[in-house]
Amino acid sequence: MHSLKEILSFQPDGRTLTASGWVRTKRDGKNVCFIALNDGSCMSNLQVVVDKENGSVPAETLARCGTGAALTVTGKLLPSEGGGQEAELRADSVTVLGDTSEAYPLQKKHHSVEFLREIAHLRARTNTFAAVARIRSAMSYAIHTFFQQNGFFYVHTPIITANDCEGAGQMFQVTTLDLDAVAKKALPEGIDYSQDFFGKKANLTVSGQLSAETYACALSRVYTFGPTFRAENSNTTRHLAEFWMIEPEIAFCDLEGNMEIAEAFIKFILKYVLENCREDMEFFDARIQKGVIETIRQVIEKPFVRITYTEAVGELEKAAASFEFKPVWGCDLQTEHEKYLTEKVFNGPVIVTDYPKEIKAFYMKQNDDGKTVRAMDILVPRLGEIIGGSERESDFGKLTARMKELGLNEKDYDWYLDLRRFGTVAHSGFGLGFERLILYVTGMANIRDVIPYPRTVKNAEF
């Protein structure tokens, strides 16, 4: 049996075919019934035409072909006699595989994305969310393709970990309730984690980076692509508690090499989407975010401007009055700052480097000035930051000194410090939130709508 995407690519030469899918719409005429069938393989529907007069399809069967019903149809693929499609399937037989009813929530009318989140188990049957799912699948393939073509090895890093890579403490334990605080009310000494399953306090990972670094220092080029978790109490359009991260790590690579790979990576993924998901991208451009295709083309075609954090702040200070958050050296750049740099100052993608060490993670390589680290963020128009990365600190003494400054327990990271004890090398990497990239590509407004089942504050449905 062929998918509808395949069938719609065939010449309508009268060949007999069998197609399966779900009814999007049904329109009854006096002598003919028109059914729009879709199986999710593409945006377009296959028009099925049933001749009521020849009796090939019983009236009771047609009565069961309401919106949402699952059908298998056998017939001849012929040129369409009506407008809107080149081919149609003239049905010889129709089998109803799964009935539906008037209670089916996806009737032929506009449904808000807020309503569709309430029925996330059905929303992939709509044009918008089916297109998001296809884009997500294509981008996943492109990600693996890029890294495999460039000599990277795919490494599966732990989901359960005892380390906080980001040092922010926003990690899921078994629960997000503070078990230590609860225990101390009854047990002054707190919880004895030696009696727990792992014999220590364990959490869901916020990043696979540290584990990936260990493999980069053995295989030279590796990447992770998997779920990560942040217990961040942010109820916004840009935050999820569970999301997917792409994190390459490259040995014998400094910040310059890191930026080159990151830029090539972004351009490869965006180009792949435009070349292989044309129908879905045209839908997003027409119905979701006008101009999204042109924005993506500009990112592909333009070289990324590279400036230091200090230079970026200098540009922002010239327009300080127009920002809600005043730009001052030492502050973390806000989304409004990032959009201003990409859309007003440079009119294209920007890589900002050499951030103040106080606003960056402990593992980033320190510059000789003692104030900044060899970090880089890639900013793109309309979104702001899309990639964050750095050269990693390869000097044992500098790394341990920085950990002490931040109050990190060296014993917890002893295995990580071994990379600096035994054959240390310059190495770099970056992280990209997959959903953030899908949001950018599709033009969707809320990150909850680019992952099948969003996990957010007070929401773990389905």
Dump strand ranges (E) for 312-380.
350-356, 372-380
pLDDT in tens, 405-443: 999 989 989 999 999 999 999 999 999 999 999 999 999
Whether 137 and 76 map to the same domain: the answer is no
**How much of the chain exceeds pLDDT 90, in percent?**
82
Looking at residue 192, its amino acid is D
- Note whether 47 and 155 are same-domain residues: no
From 82, 98, 114, give the residue that closes a domain. Answer: 98
State whether 83 and 231 are in the same domain.
Answer: no
Query: Do 379 and 435 fall within a single domain?
Result: yes
| Total tally of structural domains belonging to the chain | 2
Domain annotation covers residue 191: no
For 53-105, the pLDDT digits (tens) are: 888 899 999 999 999 999 999 999 999 988 788 999 999 999 999 999 888 99
Phi, psi (degrees; rounded to nearest 5) at 110:
-75, 135
In a domain, residue 221? The reply is yes
Task: Give domain status of residue 428, yes or no.
Answer: yes
CB 437 within 8 A of CB 269: yes
Same domain, 332 and 410: yes
Flag whether 338 is in a domain.
yes
Sign of the C-alpha dihedral, residues 92, 95, 100, 105?
negative
In a domain, 257, yes or no: yes
Residue 213 has, within 13 A of its CA and on its CB side, a CA count of 27
Here the contacts of 104-109 (C-beta below 8 Å, separation 24 or greater) are 104/66, 104/67, 104/68, 106/67, 106/68, 107/67, 108/24, 108/25, 108/67
Q: How many CB atoms lie within 10 A of CB 165?
A: 22
> What gap in Å lies between CA 295 and CA 301, rounded to an integer?
10
Query: According to the model, what pLDDT value does residue 297 have?
Result: 97
359 in a domain, yes or no? Answer: yes
Q: Are residues 129 and 93 in the same domain?
A: no
**DSSP string covering 196-263, please?**
STTSS--EE-S-SHHHHHHHHHHHSEEEEEEEEE------STT--SEEEEEEEEEES--HHHHHHHHH
Which among 98, 115, 137 is the end of a domain? 98
Domain-terminating residue out of 81, 98, 115: 98
CATH number at residue 64: 2.40.50.140
pTM for the full model?
0.93
Cα within 13 Å of Cα(196), Cβ side: 14
Q: Which two tokens stand for residue 321?
A: 């009055």
Distance CA 39, CA 42 (A): 8
**89 within 8 A of 19, measured Cβ to Cβ:** yes
Q: Are residues 228 and 157 in the same domain?
A: yes
Report how far Cα 53 is from the mean position of its chain's Cα atoms: 50
> Who contacts 441 (Cβ-Cβ below 8 Å, separation ≥6)?
135, 139, 270, 273, 281, 284, 292, 296
Average pLDDT of the residues of the chain: 93
CA distances from residue 248 to 292, 332, 362, 432 in whole angstroms, order as listed: 27, 24, 18, 9
**Same structural domain, 43 and 167:** no
| Low-confidence winner among 204-213, 228-237, 243-252, 291-300 (lowest mean pLDDT) | 228-237
Indicate the SS3 state at residue 356: strand
What pLDDT, on the 0 to 100 scale, is given for residue 161? Answer: 87
CATH number at residue 140: 3.30.930.10
Q: Does the residue 374 lie in any domain?
A: yes
Asked if the structure places residue 456 within a domain, the reply is no
For helices 209-219 and 414-421, the axis angle rounded to 10 degrees is 30
Q: Give dist(CA 229, CA 225) in Å, integer.
A: 13
Domain with 17, as residue range(s), is: 4-98
* Domain match, 221 and 338 both: yes
Confidence of residue 241 (pLDDT cuts 50, 70, 90): very high
Split at pLDDT 50, 70, 90, the class of 392 is very high
- 3-class secondary-structure state, position 357: helix
For residues 35 and 154, membership in a common domain is answered with no
Q: Per-residue pLDDT for 168 more than 60?
A: no
Residues 284 and 213 in one domain: yes
Please tell me the least confidently modeled range out of 13-27, 225-239, 389-403: 225-239
Mean pLDDT over 242-259 rounds to 98
Same domain, 90 and 129: no
Is the model's pLDDT at 108 over the cut of 90?
Answer: no
Percent of the chain residues past pLDDT 70, beyond the cut: 99
Q: Tens digits of per-residue pLDDT, 253-300?
A: 999 999 999 999 999 999 999 999 999 999 999 999 999 999 999 999
